[in-house]
Structure 1
Amino acid sequence: MPAPADAEPPVAPSAPPTSPRRRGRLVAVLAVVLLLVLTGAGVVVTRPGPVAGWLGEDAASAPTAAGPAAEPAPADVLDGPDPNAPLPAPDGVRAALDPLVGVPALGDRVNVSVADVITGQTLFAKGADDGTMPASVTKLATAVTVLAARGAGYRIPTRAVAGAKPGEVVIVGGGDPTLAVDKKSYYPGAARLDDLAAQVRTALGGTAPTSVTVDGTIYSGPVYGPGWDEDIPTDGYGAAVTALMTNGARKDPGAEAGGAERVAEPDLAAGRSFARLLGVPASTVKRGTAPALATAAGGAPPPGTELGAVQSPPLIRLVDIMISESDNLVAEALARQVALARSQTASFDGAAAAMDAEVAALGLPAEEITLSDGSGLSRRNRISPSLLTDLIRLAASPDHPELAGVFGGLPVGGWSGTLGARYRGAPGTAAGAGVVRAKTGTLSGVHAIAGLVTTADGRLLTFAVLTDRVPGGTDTAQPALDRIAAALAGCGCR
């Protein structure tokens, strides 16, 4: 997320370093299982984009999940790492990185973790266990925890039920932020309100709809996150988090990725769109709660009867969107799916607690992650760089093939997503083009990156660099950050 122009750099509270402790060795493989057979979902989802070829799969023959096929990548993007490549030496990595992590452009708090994916050996650590403001790198934790909690094939439902009054239709939001009104959708493959409306008309038979009630009670608590900057609700990168919305709360589904004008009340806006499709006046739309199933006289469906349902794309596709576009509304929706899966309240607090619990259940040090949201917009979030590299290595482990979906949407240096314009022209960054795959994070005063990089010898490493006291802007901080990953890409470090 681009830093707001008028935002002040944060004053991050000093955090004492955590006690040294031994991290469990996470055995990983280069050829991660990327084809997931989703039991119970009735679909087979394969990894879109360059990652299938990069990790040894046949990218050309792999169908994608919902959405169009990825643009073909340059050959160097698809080059796979060498499983026999030599392991970099910690002293060599230190020699390459020490001059880069102390540059003024990154400020006086630069915390770094670099580890080998196969062995788990730590190759470089500087404040690696210290909780640091991660910005949108938080989405890596959201991706791993939701894949663990829900599974890659889970789909978020949006339902319509008969209301208590004759002709009343209650639309029940399940938390799908990608829901579209009609075929003009921001998100490819999204569920559509016009399909739901057609189901409702069929189910009602001769009964004419008279009103629409919006039930978003699956979510609770504030609609804006704790620790969000004051301009987040209006700057186009955030919006009210409600259980019912269309096109990520965008006013125009044709808006480009990134900042876009959002509606102030996404649930009511979606309800009015649904009312229009049913031929019901917008003035009848109100918030309420769906009735429990009851018996009713006459030919009308009993109150509480389901009149129709549509489902989001598979969760693995939503994870791709969240990571590749750094979509904050999708991130908050996925965080609340973790809460629902763990029987927590679907609120900012409930989602944060559930993600913490999921990290602990995966055997990782939950004391090194403190969250207030799932998108990284909150300045209260803290994650240690070493926890991020642990999460990435765990996702590459053959013991957790369900987590491999985190890799599909990772932007590629100089080619895609939030790294598409990076690792190109800035001096000292070219070595990272095509071989850095990472999630970025940006708030004013905060710059972060975490992901994977292949060394010049073909060794696959995972890295995380978090800075939250950056004195300047993105023009100087991002190239300085990119030089760190590019140095790993350009050296054997032996």
Structure 2
Amino acid sequence: MSPPVPPAGTAPPPPSPPPASPRRRSRLVAALACVLVLALAVAGLAVFRPGPVAGWLGDDDASGTAVAAPPEPTPPAVLAGPDGNAPLPTEAGIRAALDPLVRAAALGDRVHLSVADVSTGQALYGSGQDTPTVPASVTKLATGVAVLAARGPAYRIPTKAVAGANPGEVVLVGGGDPTLAVDKDGFYPGAARLDDLAAQVRNALGGTAPTKVIVDSSLFTGPVFEPGWDSDIPTGGFGAAITALMTDGARKNPAEARRTAEQTNHAAERVPQPDLTAGRQFAKLLGLTGGAAQVTRGAAPAASGATGTAPGAELGTVESLPMIRLVDIMISDSDNVIAEAMARQVALAKGKPGSFVGGAAATGQVLGELGLPAGEISLADGSGLSRTNRISPSLLTDLITLAGNGSHPELAAIFGGLPVGGWSGTLDERYRAAATSAGAGVVRAKTGTLSGVNAIAGTVTTADGRLLTFAVLTDRTQGSLDETRAALDRITSALAGCGCR
């Protein structure tokens, strides 16, 4: 679970990489510009985290006054991209750099590692690289790639209201949007809103007064909690009952959760029945009180071409943020509820049940269709909370290479939300020690943590400007969490700091 992004206007402490030479500064700025162009071409938008980069690009502050560029050191290349002309490290060079680090006691006795070149896909280092290993939240990389491939970056999830069987009855039909808000005070900025949908319904009903709300959350099936989750997940604040209709990721108090996200690491109390809670919120927006506000579950009448207020006729619809943005939030915040909803979108796109089982099966199917070794992944959920998940490091580096080499531009959205070493997300406070400072700003990776399990997978730009992908999975770690993370960071920093030739 990732630490939150500070609110706008609050700049985090800058990382402390070594001073950059003029040649390196020039290369970093050029790399940033290239990737920004790619991001704009693929996504049609760019999302920047407030902080050092905003000032560096000359953004205005709230008063409209131009912000001067910060003094040295030059900000890190937080969007560094591949340079196919940079020298390729040798396998022997990388092995010499990594072999001593892989044997660190804090990593335990199951350390599986894969390193490859993004431009060519050439494998450069492996140790147990094809061995399926517990991935924890690194699973979200597989979920993100699968949903971008299956749904496309521009897809939006609809939430609809249709006319019920009797006059005045309104059926709220969940489409699986976990970010749906009640009103402008929702947890996820820019989310679809129930108050907008309620306004559409009142307009569509005309002179007919709403009398009852029924919720149809049948799009998702099966258990609402994955059987392999640890017993504290349902109540620990990082997971929730997964239903096709919910508001604000099932948070009980989204406004408070937004205010305290930084202190709570995005944990928040969740409601036990998200679909019924959303239905009651919708009933209140429609002006229903007392017994009329009592919401029940039911099925929406078949539309069959119905119009007006006939049973099954559509009374209104709102749509989620585009898939590219949902994936970005899922990865940057390590949002488990969004991840489970995304896995179900993969299932629905592939004609499978919208369940834990359907999502896991569909994710494996889509990765296989992309040419990845589907035999090296076995999932029970889309978030990585399940300890029964298994992914090999080499599948992860293959997946990242596929997303980053330009052959599937729709998959490049997984990079937008990746935490940056010494700068954002779960890597915000890492890569600040002298032994790991080479990774600050040039390591972009998804982390994963369960008790006894620590993982990291992403990209790193070498000192020569070559973009590599790496995955390090350990599921028998020893020692403290800080020691294990430091050992992982030394591995990725070694890749950042050497030419390895």
TM-score tier, shorter chain, comes to 0.7 to 0.9
Distance in 2 (CA, whole Å) between partners of 1:159 and 1:281 is 22
Superposition pairs of residues 308-323 of structure 1, within 5 angstroms: 308-323=316-331
The RMSD of aligned alpha carbons is: 2.4
8 Å contact 1:211–1:281 — kept in the other structure? no
Superposition pairs of residues 21-170 of structure 1, within 5 angstroms: 34-35=38-39, 45-49=44-48, 75-78=75-78, 82-170=83-171
Q: CA deviation at 1:473?
A: 3.3
Which residue is 2:226 aligned to? 225
Distance in 1 (CA, whole Å) between partners of 2:458 and 2:492 is 9
Task: Assess, with a 3 A threshold, how the Cα gap between structure 1 residues 404 and 272 changes in structure 2: closer, same or farther.
Answer: same
Q: Residue by residue, what CA displacement relative to the aligned partner does 1:144-191 show, whole Å, maximum 9, x if unpaired?
A: 111100000000000000111221110000000000000001111100
Which residue is 2:190 aligned to? 189
8 Å contact 2:204–2:308 — kept in the other structure? no
Question: May I ask how many residue pairs the two structures share in their alignment?
Answer: 445
8 Å contact 2:82–2:119 — kept in the other structure? no
8 Å contact 2:163–2:314 — kept in the other structure? yes
Decide which of 431, 441, 444 is 1:434's aligned counterpart: 441
Which residue is 1:204 aligned to? 205
Decide which of 293, 298, 306 is 2:303's aligned counterpart: 293
8 Å contact 1:105–1:476 — kept in the other structure? yes
Distance in 2 (CA, whole Å) between partners of 1:144 and 1:80 is 18
Q: Residue by residue, what CA displacement relative to the aligned partner does 1:90-122 show, whole Å, maximum 9, x if unpaired?
A: 111111111111111111000000011112221
8 Å contact 2:118–2:468 — kept in the other structure? yes
**Runs of 5+ consecutive residues of structure 2 not aligned to the other structure:** 3-30, 60-68
Over the matched positions of the two proteins, sequence identity in percent amounts to 67
Task: Assess, with a 3 A threshold, how the Cα gap between structure 1 residues 295 and 364 changes in structure 2: closer, same or farther.
Answer: closer
Q: CA deviation at 1:418?
A: 1.3
- Partner of 2:254, secondary structure, is coil
Task: Assess, with a 3 A threshold, how the Cα gap between structure 1 residues 154 and 443 changes in structure 2: closer, same or farther.
Answer: same
Which residue is 2:7 aligned to? none
Structure 1, 81-90 or 187-196: larger mean CA deviation: 81-90
Task: Assess, with a 3 A threshold, how the Cα gap between structure 1 residues 142 and 295 changes in structure 2: closer, same or farther.
Answer: closer
Q: CA deviation at 1:60?
A: 5.0
Structure 1, 453-462 or 286-295: larger mean CA deviation: 286-295
Structure 2 counterpart of 1:244, which letter? L
Q: CA deviation at 1:250?
A: 0.7
Q: CA deviation at 1:35?
A: 4.3
8 Å contact 1:226–1:373 — kept in the other structure? no
**Runs of 5+ consecutive residues of structure 1 not aligned to the other structure:** 3-28, 39-43, 63-71
Q: CA deviation at 1:417?
A: 1.3
Q: Residue by residue, what CA displacement relative to the aligned partner does 1:275-314 show, whole Å, maximum 9, x if unpaired?
A: 1101113642011110112699xx9711101000000010
Task: Assess, with a 3 A threshold, how the Cα gap between structure 1 residues 228 and 45 changes in structure 2: closer, same or farther.
Answer: same
- Partner of 2:318, secondary structure, is strand
Q: CA deviation at 1:87?
A: 1.0
Task: Assess, with a 3 A threshold, how the Cα gap between structure 1 residues 289 and 435 changes in structure 2: closer, same or farther.
Answer: same
Decide which of 311, 332, 337 is 2:340's aligned counterpart: 332
Q: CA deviation at 1:37?
A: 6.2
Structure 2 counterpart of 1:77, which letter? A
Distance in 2 (CA, whole Å) between partners of 1:161 and 1:295 is 12
Which residue is 1:363 aligned to? 371
Which residue is 1:6 aligned to? none
Distance in 2 (CA, whole Å) between partners of 1:60 and 1:431 is 23
Structure 1, 280-289 or 456-465: larger mean CA deviation: 280-289
Structure 2 counterpart of 1:429, which letter? T
Q: CA deviation at 1:47?
A: 3.7
Structure 2 counterpart of 1:103, which letter? A
- Partner of 2:133, secondary structure, is coil
8 Å contact 1:111–1:466 — kept in the other structure? yes
Q: CA deviation at 1:351?
A: 0.5
Task: Assess, with a 3 A threshold, how the Cα gap between structure 1 residues 140 and 328 changes in structure 2: closer, same or farther.
Answer: same
Structure 2 counterpart of 1:344, which letter? K
Distance in 2 (CA, whole Å) between partners of 1:408 and 1:37 is 13
Which residue is 1:491 aligned to? 498
Distance in 2 (CA, whole Å) between partners of 1:209 and 1:289 is 18
Task: Assess, with a 3 A threshold, how the Cα gap between structure 1 residues 37 and 286 changes in structure 2: closer, same or farther.
Answer: farther
Distance in 1 (CA, whole Å) between partners of 2:57 and 2:377 is 38
8 Å contact 2:82–2:118 — kept in the other structure? no
Distance in 1 (CA, whole Å) between partners of 2:228 and 2:118 is 33
Task: Assess, with a 3 A threshold, how the Cα gap between structure 1 residues 83 and 294 changes in structure 2: closer, same or farther.
Answer: closer
8 Å contact 2:394–2:471 — kept in the other structure? yes
Tell me if 1:284 matches 2:288: no
Structure 1, 90-99 or 148-157: larger mean CA deviation: 90-99
Q: Higher helix proportion, which one?
A: 2
